Structure 1
Amino acid sequence: MKTYLAPMAGYTDRAFRDLCRKEGADVVFAEMVNARQVLAVPDKGKELLQITAEEKPVAVQLFGHDPEALKEASHLLEEWNVDYIDLNCGCPARKVVKTGAGSALLKDLSLLTRIIRVMRASVKRACLSIKIRAGWDSESLVFQEAGKIAQEEGADLLFFHARTRSQGFGGKAHWPWIGELAGRLSLPVVGNGDIRTWQEAALRLEETSCAGIMIGRGAIGRPRLFREIKEGRTYQAPREDILNHLYEHYCDKARWAGEHKAVLQMRKVAPFYVRGFPDAKEIRILLNKAASLEEARKGMGL
C-alpha cells in the first residue's frame, strides 16, 4: 500500500516534501501549478516547483482547462524527468473553477475526456494520474462517469477526494463512494479525505480495498503520520521532539526560500505543530513576531 502527500497550495513546497519523504511517504506532490504558467516561463516554473535531480520520485499536479496547454505542459514535465503527472479535477477554489479548471471539469465530461486523451498521448514514461471529487454538488455526482473516462482514456492512477465541490473542505469525506468506485474499476483508485490517524487509514483501506491513501491537511504539522501509517502505531512525541521537528522545517524552508521568506511563510504552518500545547497561543504570537531563524528558535523555547 502506497501513501501519497496531496498537492496543497502554500504547503507542499520542497522543504515539506522532503520532511514527509523522510517520514515514510512514498510519493509527495509539489504544489499544483497552472499549465500555462509552466509553458510561459519554463525556467521560472521549474524554480517555482523546486525540482532538482536529487528529488525522486518527482510528482507534479497541473491545472487548467485548455487541452493543448495541458498537453504541452505534460510533455515539458516529462522532459524535466517528472515521475508523476496529475490532472487536477478537484480543486474547489473559486479563482480556479471560474476559469473552467479544477472541479469545473466535472461539469464538462466531454472536455475532461479530451484533456485526458491528449495528456495520455503526450506522457510516454511518467505515471499519468487524475484527481477528482465526487461531483459539483450532491445533485450532480459524476465520480463513476469520471472514473470510467479516466480508465478508458488510459490514465494509470485515480485519486479520489470523497467530497463534492460544494462541500469545499467542510462536512465529512464519504468513503463509501471510494469503495464503490474502486470496486467498479480496474484502474487503481487512491482514497483521499479526512485521514488524520493511522487507525483511520487502516480502517478505510479495509472498508474500501482502495490502492492507497492520499493525505493532505492531516499531514500539516504532522509529517510523522506517514510513518505511523506504515508501521501501524502511534508515536507519542514529547513536546521537545515536536518543537525540534518544527525548527527543522524552518531550517529546511530557509535553505530553499531564504531565511526572511521562510520565517514569514512558516507563520501559517507553525500553528499545526503546536496545536494542543497549553501555551500554543503564546508560541504563535512569538513566531509571528520572529524575523530570523534565531528568533523563531527562541520563540519555541529551544
Structure 2
Amino acid sequence: LLSAEQLAERVRETDVFARITPEQKLTLLCALQQAGEVVAMTGDGVNDAPAIKGAQVGIAMGRDGSEVAREASVIVLADDNFATIAKAVREGRGVYDNLRKTILYILPSDAGEAMIMLAALLLGGIAPITPVQILWINMVTTVNLALALAFEKAEPDVMRRPPRDPHARLLEGQVLWRIPLVGGLMVLSAYGMFEWVLEQGGSLEAARTAALNTIVLIECFYLFNARYLNAPVLNRQGLFGNPVVWYVIGPLILLQLMVTYAPFMNTLLGTAPLEAVTWGWMTLVALGVMLAVELEVRIRGWWARRAAAAAGA
C-alpha cells in the first residue's frame, strides 16, 4: 500500500487508472487535490456520484446519466459530448478575460477623474470639470463604452494558456500599473486642454467643455487598448474586430456634440460651443494617450519575450 504522500506523487505521474472502485476514485481525487491540483470529474452512474460531488468541478451526463450523478454535479452535459467541456472552458476563460478588461477599462477613468479633482483641491485652482460633468462621464459615457467589452470574443491564445491559479489576483502587477498610467495621462490631458482654451481667450465654460470632451475622447480611444490585455491593437483585428465598439462610440460622439452645442445641454451641464481647431487638438491628445498605452504593451511584450529567451538559454 502507498502512503498518502506516495499516492499524491504517483497520481501526478500516471495518466490512466483502470478497473477502480468508487472508493478508489474518491481516494485518487483527494490525492490530486492534496497535491494542489484542481480536479474535474466526469461520470454518469450512481457509483461516480461520490467523486463527482468531491471534485471542484463535477460533470455529469445529461441524457444517459443517472439522476444521482446529475444531482451531485455542478455541470451537466446536455448533449453527453466531452468536446462540450472544452467549449465551456474556452467560453469561461473568455468571460473571465472580459471581466478583467472591463475593470481595467473603468478603473483608470475613475482614477483620472478623482485625480483631477484632487489636483484642483491641492493646487487651490479652478477645477477643470464640474461635479455634474463628472456625473455625466460616469453615468453616460464610461458605462456605455464598457458594455462593448462584454461582446469581445475569446482571444486566439486563450486555450494555449496554462490553467489559472485559483488564488491569483484578478489583476496582476503587469497590467495593474496601467491604472495610474492612463489616469495620469488623463489628468495631464484634461488640465492641458483646460489651460490652453483659457490662454486662447476662451471662457471658463468653454475650457471646461474642452476638458470634458478630452476625457470622453480619451475613453473612446482607450477602449481599443482595453480590448486586449497583453496584445497590441494597432492592426485590423484590433481596430475592427469588434463592431460593437464602433456602435457605442458613434452615438456617444453625437451625444457629446449635443452636449457641446445644444443650448439646453449648455445650461444643464455648464458647457459652451467649441471651435473646430479645439476639436482637432482634443482628438490628437486622445490619440496620443492611445499610442502611449500601445507603446507600453509592446515594451512589456518585448520584455516578456526577452525574459523567456533568457530563461530558455
Q: What is the TM-score with the length of structure 1 in the denominator?
A: 0.27
Max radius of gyration: which structure? 2
**Whose helix proportion is higher, 1 or 2?**
2
TM-score for both structures, normalised by structure 2 = 0.27
Structure showing the higher strand proportion among its residues? 1
